[in-house]
Amino acid sequence: MPQSDLHNSAVGGWDVGAIRSNFPILSRKVHGKPLVYLDTAASAQRPSVVIDAVTNFYTGHNANVHRGVHTLSQEATELWENARESMREFIGAASCREIIFTRGMTEGVNLVAQSFVRPRVGQGDKIMITAMEHHSNIVPWQLVCEQTGAELVIIPVNNRGEVELEAFAEMLDEQVKMLAVMHVSNALGSINPVAKMCRMAKEYNIPVLIDGAQATPHLQVDVQAIDCDFYCVSGHKMYGPTGSGVLYGRENLLEAMPPYHGGGEMIRTVTFEKSTWNDLPSKFEAGTPNIAGGIGLGAAAQFIQGIGRENIRTYEADLLNYGTRRLEEIDGLRIIGTAAEKASVMSFIIEGTHPHDIGTIIDHAGVAIRTGHHCAMPILKQFGVVGTARASLGMYNTREEIDVLVAAVEKACVMLR
Amino acid sequence: MVLDQLYQQAVLAHNREPKNAFVMKSATHSALGNNALCGDELQVYLDVLDEEIKSASFNGDACAIATASASIMTEWLGGRSTEDARAGAEAFENMLFDRPFDRDFIGEGVLLEAVAAFPSRIKSATLCWHAMIAALDGVDEITTE
Ligand SMILES: Cc1ncc(COP(=O)(O)O)c(C=O)c1O
């Protein structure tokens, strides 16, 4: 099939061909076949506006930020701070002082674990997460528990992949000093009721951190409406550069926290006796940041907003339904993760086959999926599997691509069985 | 096409009906091979007497490449000296990294030669060999990433 026929599906005025034309990589071939990229949950592809923002910074404005009086430094600082404003608007924060640039979701959660939670917990205290968290929202808390004697407690998840809210309600008490929960699961696709969980936690004055890595590319996110205390964004999952991200934190909490990394930029004065800290957000941005990455991330946020998150959500929901239905036609296939509210992710196993073999074989049909444990070993264990094959969707995917996936998987099954 | 070589019928037959796929109660040596990244897990069992591997078996949940490789390896090991077993592991690895190796020596192992063209799958093919060496060395578990 020629490329143009493959991608002309339009749903409710959504022109996916026009969307796709923003992503240069989508026109490449893999093993002689048109690339069918179904691994957005691992890392999204980048639109030209993001690539151009990065290139434009390096070719036209490259300099360090907040340092010089010269023109380039001032331009770089302006682009950098504009990107911060784009991210503030994108997640609905009240102030740019609440937007800290990071390397990604992982740095955000470690910052909060060490600077906010570690000084506040000890023996007898509890840090609470769900059973479906990504390793990056498990391990930083285990470190704090080791350092302080606090206990990590796990909110159960049912066999559809939904948080057990009743059990959660019963687990809440004054000893819980932190709740950390993912907004959207990368392994199962579940959308968690984070606003409701924040309200429930608030009754016990429990601060809440949300792992938004898989939410911002797919859903409208408003941190004030959710009413969380911290929200971690990953740049590369939302069509932005790798090594970029932001941490949102409530201003009063960030004010009260000690710095995470020490170095340049985050200080006001330094003497060998004592240093004083810079204002927010600089206090948490030690050293020269990933300037081009942050600027690219701001462009990604604007790009997503230009298309409209409601439109993206509607289109991707239709595609997810279609994909799930088509995959379920495959003999012996079981979808892992069937929450009522889902986004983007179709995780599956097929009787008599192993995900790795499926992944290798369909790569030769140009289809890119992820296989393995998806950095979420505990929840896969609950489902009785050590790994799955996972197809994950972005705004650029099409029904025709789902058909290519299904045909390739069927062929792989014939080969393997 | 390389993919067809990787998943050639002879390899798939070893996956569908693997040889020596059982828990060996009488094993003198045993180790778990764990490929943390993809979740492949293979327990390798050896019955060793006077530096001779009388028989070998394996058990576990792994992809077709890892399973076929374990089936082929355990067949190959029966009756060999432990010294040969270690040399076999080295020759097999040399094959997968496109280095010179003794084709006649590793026998049916050459069925997996095409894995060399799939760098992301080399660890699947070598998992059982690593576990076998670990077992000989008295190590309970090895993890490859
Ligand atoms: C749910 C979830 N949380 C966190 C992360 C880690 O994000 P980052 O790569 O930005 O550190 C990922 C990505 O793998 C993820 O899917």
User: In this complex, how many residue pairs, one in chain A and one in chain B, have their CB atoms less than 8 Å apart?
Assistant: 47
pLDDT at res. A154: 98
Identify the band that residue A266 occupies on the pLDDT scale cut at 50, 70 and 90: confident
Residues A325 and A375 in one domain: yes
Q: Which of A272, A306, A340 is the last residue of a domain?
A: A306
The mean pLDDT of B16-35, rounded to a whole number, is: 96
A137 and A30 belong to one structural domain: no
d(CA B75, CA A226): 60
As annotated, the active-site residues of A are 375
Q: Which of A354, A373, A387 sits opposite B64 (nearest CB)?
A: A354
Q: Which atom of ligand 1 is nearest to the CA of A236?
A: 10
Sorting pLDDT into bands at 50, 70 and 90, what band is B37? confident
A405 and A268 in one domain? Answer: no
Answer whether A226's CB lies under 8 Å from A211's CB.
Answer: no
- Of A371, A385, A415, nearest to B7 by CB-CB distance is A415
Instruction: Test B7 with A357 for CB contact under 8 angstroms.
Output: yes
Ligand 1 probe mutation, A40, A101, A106, A194, most atoms within 8 A of CB: A106
E strand or H helix that includes residue A386:
none
Confidence grade of residue A386 (pLDDT, cut at 50, 70, 90): confident
Contacts with B6 from chain A: Cβ below 8 Å: 360
Q: What is the pLDDT of residues A39-90, one digit of tens each?
A: 999 999 999 999 999 999 999 999 999 878 899 999 999 999 999 999 999 9
Q: A147 in a domain, yes or no?
A: yes
Let me know if domain B2-138 sits in CATH 1.10.150.120.
no
Among the candidates A258, A285, A306, a domain finishes at A306
A320 and A251 co-located in one domain:
no
Give B29's pLDDT tier (boundaries 50, 70, 90). very high
Distance, in Å, from the CA atom of A351 to the CA atom of A254, rounded to the nearest integer, reads 49
Residue A103 Cα to ligand 1 middle (Å): 11
| Stretch A192-202: mean pLDDT | 98
What confidence category does residue A7 fall into, taking pLDDT thresholds of 50, 70 and 90?
very low
Pairing of β A14-15 and β A10-11: antiparallel
Q: What is the pLDDT of residue A12?
A: 60
Q: Domain range spanning residue A15? A: 3-34+308-416
Please identify, among A253, A278, A306, the residue that sits at the C-terminal boundary of a domain: A306
What percent of chain A lies above the pLDDT cut of 90?
89
Confidence of residue B50 (pLDDT cuts 50, 70, 90): very high
Contact A243, A290 (CB under 8 A): yes
How much distance in Å is there from the Cα of A182 to the middle of ligand 1? 10
**Partners of residue B1 in chain A, C-beta under 8 Å:** 364
In a domain, A42, yes or no: no
Contact flag A357-B63 (C-beta cutoff 8 Å): yes
Q: How many domains does chain A have?
A: 2
Interface test with A, best of B12, B16, B32, B38 (most A CBs within 10 A): B38
Alpha carbon distances (Å) from A417 to A66, B47, B113: 61, 32, 21
Task: Using pLDDT thresholds of 50, 70 and 90, give the confidence band for residue A217.
Answer: very high
Chain B hits for A371, CB-CB cut-off 8 Å, are: 38
pLDDT digits (tens, 9 = 90+) for A310-343: 999 999 999 999 999 999 999 999 999 999 999 9
